[in-house]
Amino acid sequence: MTRHKVEICGVDTSKLPVLKNEEMRKLFIKMQSGDGDLAAREELVNGNLRLVLSVIQRFNNRGEYVDDLFQVGCIGLMKSIDNFDLSHNVRFSTYAVPMIIGEIRRYLRDNNPIRVSRSLRDIAYKALQVRERLINKTSKEPTPMEIAEEMGIPHSDIVFAMDAIQDPVSLFEPIYNDGGDPIFVMDQISDEKDKDSTWLDKLSLKEGMHQLNERENMILNKRFFQGKTQMEVAEEIGISQAQVSRLEKAAISQMNKQMFE
């Protein structure tokens, strides 16, 4: 297959290297050794530039210069390389993609033509810093209430400030794909409504769950009866959100076959 030369920031993207998982692991070990191998870090950066390219494609419709997005994405990549923990036993791309997206979103917020008051922005950015600090301290996502307590300001101020700097997104926007089924925004949203009109659907769902194994049963129960998000379920049972998404979809597919064939 012929590759066309496309230059971004002076980089010929057709010649970007791709590192295998084992190669990356060895480079991370070198980089994280006592002396800190800068050559290994540089090789990790160059070997993952294609990851940045794949992420910035979803922002093509924003009217931003590709070179600018690429540079910002590279900052997110370098931050993820510097903070990646091999002991967590997750793929580097799983860790890096959200950080690259976050860096680009921050850049787009700072350059958003919709004006948000300086005081709101200050509160929001301080909240983001507190959030990062709490994540590093507790290894889990803090709630807005916890962030508010840490900052000593009302919870409503945090929510209002964070909402003010967010870009609207579609519920069907994919936020991650590791080669399997994508995870969409809607997969991270819980439904706490318990209307009478849904009781029949829940009854059918519960009936079909008898054919599933214990883990699948637990995931569907937490998702559709307890109204928890995939991220919350993942934290509770100790697996990744991508795994929860795949198990959930496989279980529902299996139930559909059993109930309607």
Domain 1-111 matching CATH 1.20.120.1810: the answer reads yes
Q: Contact 47/80 with Cβ under 8 angstroms? A: no
User: For the packed helices 21-31 and 92-110, what is the interaxial angle rounded to 10 degrees?
Assistant: 70
**Fold annotation for 114-168:** Arc Repressor Mutant, subunit A (1.10.10)
Best mean pLDDT range from 62-66, 106-110, 118-122, 248-252: 248-252
Q: Using pLDDT thresholds of 50, 70 and 90, give the confidence band for residue 78.
A: very high
pLDDT at 5 over 50: no
DSSP label of 91 = -
Phi and psi for 131 in degrees, rounded to 5?
Answer: -60, -50
- CB–CB of 56/74 below 8 Å? no
pLDDT value, residue 117: 64
- Give the start-to-end residue ranges of the domains of the chain: 1-111, 114-168, 174-260
Q: Which residue has the tokens 């995931």?
A: 219
Percent of the chain surpassing pLDDT 90: 3
C-alpha triplet 222, 102, 97: angle, nearest 5°: 70
The encoded tokens of residue 53 equal 């390219």
Helix (H) or strand (E) holding 3: none
Q: Do domains 114-168 and 174-260 have the same CATH topology?
A: yes
CATH number for the domain running over 174-260: 1.10.10.10
CB 84 within 8 A of CB 95: yes
pLDDT value for 196: 43
pLDDT digits (tens, 9 = 90+) for 24-39: 888 888 888 867 678 8
